Structure 1
Amino acid sequence: MTNNLLPDSFFLHELANIAGKASLEHYRTNELIVLQNKPKADYRFDPVTQADKLAEKLMREYITAAYPDHAIIGEEYGISGSGSIQWVLDPIDGTRPFLCGLPLWANLIGVTHHGKAVMGMMSQPYIGERFWADANGSWTSSAHGHFRLETRKNIALNQAILHTNSPEPIATHPDIHFGSLTEQVLMTRYGGECYAMAMLAAGRIDACFEYALEPYDIVPLIPIIEQAGGVVTTLDGGRAEAGGAVLATGCPILHEQILTILNQG
């Protein structure tokens, strides 16, 4: 394989199969699976489990066997390799709900080309639901069928549904006017993890804002949202592949409105 060859969607699904099998071996079991705590900004508890380590290890091995010239960055094992194509892996996004037995976690797999996110996969193996995107579009599949994803457009701000994963960072970031935003939308929901981003791509949520994402948290989701018609940027309106404070919306007009509120109150 060559360094400039992008994978196809079938390969994304094969990786999701591998990560899903490894994850489910440790899901809803009675064993102690937390290996360590990696506290980060605004969160006292950010666990790493056996499932995180195993799923990423197996995905890395599979990628390297097929695409030895591709670079990989993952939450658990860092960066390896170099080149124009890079895989971005979050073996279990939503480890806290994983520990609680709540199926709001997923295996996240992304691909960047020259730094831009071009392919993504979000797979929830316990309920058998997947969301993915390539150059041809954004899709979802489950026991209920196979559908093309499309974000909701032309929604007024006062009718918009807003999501952020946790209220914990709000008080520590008074310069980001999230409170002002919550007063102007229809309702605000918490705790959906990466599923909220998938539901934005599916037209069920209108805006998702997160205070501090890593590349592996957002890169796999960017193509899924963008190919469904949505917008993903940082607070300054730039590309979000590097993470940070990230806003995703289903509509460019709504996106600009919300950026203005978050930045100015």
Structure 2
Amino acid sequence: MSTTERRWRDDLHLAHTIADQVDPLTQAHFDAQDFEVEAKPDLTPVTAADREAEQQIRDYLSRARTRDSVLGEEFGTTGHSPRQWVIDPIDGTKNFVRGVPVWATLIALVEDGEVVVGLVSAPALGRRWWAVKGGGAWSGRSLASARRLHTSSVAILEDASLSYASLSGWAQTRRLRGMLSLMQECWRTRAYGDFWSYMLLAEGAVDLAVEPELELYDMAALVPIVTEAGGRFTSLAGEPGPWGGSAVATNGLLHEVVLARVGEETD
């Protein structure tokens, strides 16, 4: 175990413990489909399950990490510590409310402006992914039963598999032409969407994933998993990490060519 990995190992264990507590709650709501769907100001859907899951995570952190700040999708930011937990209680809410099992709880720890722990738990898929800075990226049902992840070695777009969420955001950000050009150059395109695109990238099943508009809580947990698997994660402007409001994630070999296709406004 590296020195950096050891530094945040307890935090990674805590993230797993929290996910173990939250997964039964979210899964029960998903199985029952017993919720009412509301629209937030940005018109994205939210359910009682989102709020209950985030509150449960916050309650656990308030006991286990009393000095840390928390940023969550549903309840904003509390605290002022340079150590901040970033939470998306249910990433993929649109899937969740329609009975599609591709949704997950995202838990990340940011320390001094860098994401050092990331965990993605998708109970309906029976899968979990995680990474800690310096410790590699892993997937499995638990820390004791896991396999290490590695991105692909695909080096040209003509052989690459691209995943995305939708095309509407690309039109709104005036980058649709570049995105369509990228799609045409790639060997395969699929809209896996949400966290799933990035986990497939970390596993080497997908070679690049791009989205034009995202929030910090959508991305924070994904970043260390992608980068510790050997990939790169930046904004459309090339800014490393989850800070730029958009995502370009690749196996590393394709990153610059993808940025060249979608990084500039085209119409």
Q: Which residue of 2 aligns with 1:158?
A: 158
**Equivalent of 2:29 in 26, 31, 43:** 26
C-alpha distance after superposition, 1:155-198 (max 9, x if no partner): 31111111111122233233451111111111211143211110
Superposition pairs for residues 1-265 of structure 1, below 5 Å? 6=8, 7-34=10-37, 36-38=38-40, 40=42, 45-135=43-133, 136-142=135-141, 146-175=146-175, 177-251=178-252, 253-264=253-264
Where 2:247 maps in the other structure, the secondary structure is strand
Whether the 8 Å CA contact 1:53–1:76 is kept in 2: the answer is yes
Determine the C-alpha separation between the residues in 2 that align with 1:106 and 1:121: 10
Where 1:244 maps in the other structure, the secondary structure is coil
Residue 10 of structure 1: CA displacement?
A: 1.6
Whether the 8 Å CA contact 1:218–1:243 is kept in 2: the answer is no
Structure 1 residues 32 and 8, CA gap change in structure 2 (3 angstroms): closer
Where 1:153 maps in the other structure, the secondary structure is coil
Determine the C-alpha separation between the residues in 2 that align with 1:30 and 1:196: 25
Residue 102 of structure 1: CA displacement?
A: 1.0
Determine the C-alpha separation between the residues in 2 that align with 1:205 and 1:28: 29
C-alpha distance after superposition, 1:104-147 (max 9, x if no partner): 1001000111111111000011232100001311100049x621
Where 1:171 maps in the other structure, the secondary structure is helix
More helix by share: 2
Determine the C-alpha separation between the residues in 1 that align with 2:33 and 2:25: 16
Whether the 8 Å CA contact 1:75–1:90 is kept in 2: the answer is yes
Residue 39 of structure 1: CA displacement?
A: 5.1
Determine the C-alpha separation between the residues in 2 that align with 1:28 and 1:169: 30
Structure 1 residues 231 and 244, CA gap change in structure 2 (3 angstroms): same
Residue 236 of structure 1: CA displacement?
A: 1.4
Aligned residues: 254
Determine the C-alpha separation between the residues in 1 that align with 2:99 and 2:175: 35
Contiguous gaps of at least 5 residues in structure 2: 1-6
Structure 1 residues 138 and 30, CA gap change in structure 2 (3 angstroms): closer
Contiguous gaps of at least 5 residues in structure 1: none
C-alpha distance after superposition, 1:65-95 (max 9, x if no partner): 0111001000001000011210000000000
Amino acid at match of 1:73: L
Whether the 8 Å CA contact 1:233–1:246 is kept in 2: the answer is yes
Whether the 8 Å CA contact 2:29–2:35 is kept in 1: the answer is no
Residue 13 of structure 1: CA displacement?
A: 0.7
Determine the C-alpha separation between the residues in 1 that align with 2:174 and 2:189: 18
The root-mean-square deviation of aligned C-alpha atoms, in Å, is: 1.8
Where 2:172 maps in the other structure, the secondary structure is coil
Structure 1 residues 101 and 243, CA gap change in structure 2 (3 angstroms): farther
Where 2:226 maps in the other structure, the secondary structure is helix
**Which runs of at least 4 in structure 1 moved beyond 2 Å after TM superposition?**
5-9, 30-33, 170-176, 239-243
Of 237-246 and 199-208, deviating more is 237-246
Of 253-262 and 174-183, deviating more is 174-183
TM-score by length of 2: 0.90
